[in-house]
Structure 1
């Protein structure tokens, strides 16, 4: 049935719904690639590397040096430490400043991910909607033609083509859910590491 057909032919089978699903798939893949690039860029300096330098600076009573290192280091962990170092001597202020930065960094990590979550829960229904429309159209076509084998063949073909929408919707939804879960797991890991960074920094500043 689909032999020799191009992607655009298959899109045409599903009607306008397939173009919506195509747009959703492009957006989902784009978000995933953008997030992967962002996380790789942010992860060039690990928490261990960052805290090793900070510990050495603070052990030498070089708080300004530690702060300067954090400013020049493009890392969420360094930014958390920098907020603590710049919050003065009051322990509560230091703790609050780092907590706010952890929240800000977490929000940055979560950017666009809600779209993937939304796609995971709704794109299937878009596909089903397209299938229902296609089936209605197929039965309308059979009603307008003579009954018999030819008519039955037409409706079966129409239903098969309409089911392309459901299959496509499921594919996009599964991809979105998998990508979303992987990203959320990464965000949670990063958030915990930033909280550990804040706690360790607070302990170092108490000494």
Structure 2
């Protein structure tokens, strides 16, 4: 076990950089996919606001593909089942739709929190290899170490290059989710208030 760890330590951090390159490609793909989804979702939310204000039917609302559209559509479809049932439907559909919006967000969050440490791990391996090369160098030791250290630091830079966009994207998308859910909750509360008022008449 110890021998395997030593062998790994002396390999340097080049392979870690390749892992980070794969992570960066994965990150870009997810960020682009989520950005397109949230852009489309916001446009559909505006459609729901207009349709809801104009008294659209449950079928019309459900056909608008976004969180509040499905929430209000399902709520209107169960209006005859009573106020309590509609409340439960709103809560359940909101939870399901929120999961849809949060899909793959855990990958961005994980990479944002850990890519720097992966890069640092590569740097540590690179430093170990640099000092090993120094011990084996007959001459020009300083140059060997400086070259090794500069190469090792590339791993840390690569880790930061992956982590920073992930953190920014994660915070941005979380804000977008909160805003969409808030819009949906506001319309759902208004719908429930109308339902309650109609039931008292």
Q: Quote the offset at 1:146 in angstroms.
A: 1.1
Inter-CA distance 97–144: structure 2 relative to 1 (3 Å threshold): same
| Conserved 8 A contact 1:99-1:198 | no
TM-score, length of structure 2 as denominator length:
0.86
How far apart in 2 are the matches of 1:176 and 1:34?
13
Give the structure 2 partner of residue 39 of structure 1: 38
What is the CA RMSD across the aligned residues, in angstroms? 1.7
Aligned length: 185
Give the structure 2 partner of residue 61 of structure 1: none
How far apart in 1 are the matches of 2:138 and 2:177?
59
How far apart in 2 are the matches of 1:177 and 1:81?
32
Give the structure 2 partner of residue 19 of structure 1: 18
For residues 130-141 of structure 1, the aligned pairs below 5 Å read 130-141=122-133
Which sections of structure 2, spanning at least 5 residues, go unmatched?
A: 1-11
Q: Quote the offset at 1:114 in angstroms.
A: 1.0
Q: Quote the offset at 1:50 in angstroms.
A: 1.9
Q: Quote the offset at 1:14 in angstroms.
A: 4.5
For residues 142-161 of structure 1, the aligned pairs below 5 Å read 142-147=134-139, 150-161=140-151
Dislocated runs of 4+, deviation >6 Å: none
Which sections of structure 1, spanning at least 5 residues, go unmatched?
A: 1-12, 58-64
| Conserved 8 A contact 1:80-1:197 | no
Give the structure 2 partner of residue 116 of structure 1: 108
Inter-CA distance 205–51: structure 2 relative to 1 (3 Å threshold): farther
| Conserved 8 A contact 2:119-2:155 | yes
TM-score, length of structure 1 as denominator length:
0.83
1:173 aligns with 2:171: no
Q: Quote the offset at 1:199 in angstroms.
A: 0.6
Give the structure 1 partner of residue 8 of structure 2: none
Deviations 1:55-97 (A, max 9, x none): 433xxxxxxx601212322232111111111223410100110
